[in-house]
Structure 1
């Protein structure tokens, strides 16, 4: 190999290494953005589960309070009926 050919090969090798470095840098950036997007999605999913849990707990509590209130009213009516019979 003559010096000119060897110099061209070295330049090509240097350019290839530079492209590889930039590709790896871009790849690291993309992996970071992907991890960040996955973390954001997981956070949104957890908040969604928490929200639905709170809605379910609220409905259950409202139903429980409503049934207790209805039970108390029935008891009160029965007591009034018993007093009316006496």
Structure 2
């Protein structure tokens, strides 16, 4: 059973890293033909299925150009909540 728990924990930790990388990359605007944009779209394919439902439930905070999306934070906290019992 330890091997499966370790695998699940590693995959969840990797998913958190992917979310954090996507957050960081979102601060850099890039044209659609750039490698950075393609990387953002590639990561988005993995994170959006989890982040989109959370975004629908949670409103964004702020207004205008100072709007913050806290859905990645909520997902990371939920993942950490799942990882703790595995350890």
| Greater Rg over alpha carbons, structure | 1
Q: TM-score, normalised by structure 1?
A: 0.33
Q: TM-score, normalised by structure 2?
A: 0.33
Structure with the largest fraction of helix? 1
